[in-house]
């Protein structure tokens, strides 16, 4: 029987399950709403059913050697416990790993979604061959996962990788975390919109002047940047530049080999990556012989299940 691995991506709105072979071929997938409000046991029950359905559809020539699950929140990966998560109100210290393991009868590894995405890119995506890397996911918040020596780096209490809250200006704008000048306060969605608002008076001819800046999304700004809008372009240039400052700090501290950029805003990659790369090159102290390259993520919406399956493989 051929060994395969199960990857589970547990999000606040959807759950994705996939069975993946060691060579990265997806054999079967299931997708369903999370219905978090129905409680832990209901959610676990539906994950189990999805895994069993996937297992059935790949047939008896394969056996599931292990499962991994990625979830947005603070995770005790040693014990497979979800400590707390914004998207899962009331879920405190949930032993997700043990609950799934009891029914599925395979070993289940639990980790934070940003760590899982980084591992997935390392094993199957844009990070292949780079055992020292950081993956940054741009969105409302700024998530990051560190791969050090080919493994997820958790830190002493599982809290490593808070790249979004590296301070790049102690007098900078207020961040969602309550402090000032964090990377996220510049490159997170609300930081981007704040910058647009601040600059509108200087660009009266911008097409963004006609939109409602309260509801405009980064993808709309991206569309205008593509169409040549000066304001939109200047905003993304600075998003990249500020991102580059943060990345420079990381590269100088950890000597990672590659930076992978994912998430919604990263769709504007061509604008952001160029200026981020330029700033990073200027920031890096030991960058002359082997420059650290910033590249877009490759696994896109499949990052969750690929990463979680990689977690199971790594655990074996």
Task: Please give the residue ranges that form the binding site for Zn ion (CB under 5 A).
Answer: 165, 175, 177, 182
Distance CA 64, CA 56 (A): 11
Reading the block at residue 193, the tokens are: 């919109």
- Smaller CB separation from Zn ion, 183 or 297: 183
Give me the least distance between CB of 117 and Zn ion, in Å please. 20
Give me the least distance between CB of 169 and Zn ion, in Å please. 12
Give me the least distance between CB of 246 and Zn ion, in Å please. 11
Give me the least distance between CB of 188 and Zn ion, in Å please. 9
Please state the φ and ψ torsions of residue 30, each to the nearest 5 degrees: -140, 145
Give me the least distance between CB of 185 and Zn ion, in Å please. 6
- Smaller CB separation from Zn ion, 180 or 207: 180
Q: 261 has which bridge partners?
A: 136, 296
What CA dihedral angle connects 168, 170, 173 and 178, to 10 degrees? 100
Residue 116: closest CA among 79, 172, 154:
154
- Smaller CB separation from Zn ion, 182 or 221: 182
- Smaller CB separation from Zn ion, 165 or 302: 165
Give me the least distance between CB of 177 and Zn ion, in Å please. 3
Taking a C-beta distance cutoff of 8 angstroms, is the pair 166, 143 a contact? no
- Smaller CB separation from Zn ion, 99 or 165: 165
Give me the least distance between CB of 130 and Zn ion, in Å please. 27
248: left (phi over 0), alpha (psi -120 to 50) or beta: alpha
Count of CB atoms within 10 A of residue 110's CB? 30
- Smaller CB separation from Zn ion, 162 or 298: 162
- Smaller CB separation from Zn ion, 15 or 243: 243
- Smaller CB separation from Zn ion, 58 or 160: 160
Give me the least distance between CB of 166 and Zn ion, in Å please. 9
Tokens 């400590």 sit at which residue? 83
Helix (H, G, I), strand (E, B) or coil at 26: strand
Question: Which strand (E) or helix (H) includes residue 152?
Answer: strand 151-152
CB within 8 Å of 210: residues ≥ 6 apart: none
Angle ∠(155,160,162) on CA atoms, nearest 5: 170
From residue 276, give the alpha-carbon distance in Å to each of 152, 195, 240, 283, 293: 24, 17, 4, 10, 10
């Amino acid at each position: 029987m051929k060994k395969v691995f199960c990857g589970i991506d547990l999000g606040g709105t959807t759950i994705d399950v996939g069975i993946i072979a060691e060579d990265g071929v997806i054999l079967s997938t299931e997708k369903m709403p999370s219905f978090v409000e129905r409680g832990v046991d209901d959610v676990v029950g539906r994950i189990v059913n999805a895994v069993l359905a996937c297992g059935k559809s790949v047939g008896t020539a394969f056996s599931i050697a292990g499962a991994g699950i990625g979830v947005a929140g603070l995770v005790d990966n040693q014990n497979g416990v979800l400590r707390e998560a914004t998207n899962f109100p009331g879920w405190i210290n949930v032993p997700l790993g043990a609950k799934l393991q009891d029914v599925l009868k395979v070993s289940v590894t639990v980790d934070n979604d940003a760590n899982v995405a980084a591992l997935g890119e390392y094993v199957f995506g844009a990070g292949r061959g780079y055992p020292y890397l950081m993956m940054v996911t741009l969105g409302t918040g700024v998530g990051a996962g560190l791969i050090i020596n080919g493994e997820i780096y958790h830190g002493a209490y599982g809290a490593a990788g808070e790249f979004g809250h590296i301070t790049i200006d102690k007098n900078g704008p207020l961040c969602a975390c309550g402090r000032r000048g964090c990377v996220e306060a510049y490159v997170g969605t609300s930081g981007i919109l704040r910058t647009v608002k601040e600059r509108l008076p200087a660009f009266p001819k911008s097409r963004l002047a006609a939109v409602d800046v309260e509801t405009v999304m980064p993808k709309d700004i991206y569309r205008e940047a593509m169409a040549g809008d000066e304001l939109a372009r200047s905003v993304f240039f600075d998003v990249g530049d500020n991102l580059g400052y943060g990345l420079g700090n990381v590269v100088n501290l950890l000597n990672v080999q590659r930076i992978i950029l994912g998430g919604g805003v990263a769709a504007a990659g061509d604008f952001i990556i160029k200026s981020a790369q330029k700033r990073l090159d200027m920031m890096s102290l030991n960058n002359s012989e082997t420059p650290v390259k910033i590249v877009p993520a490759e696994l896109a919406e499949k990052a969750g299940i690929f990463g979680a399956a990689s977690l199971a493989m790594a655990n074996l």
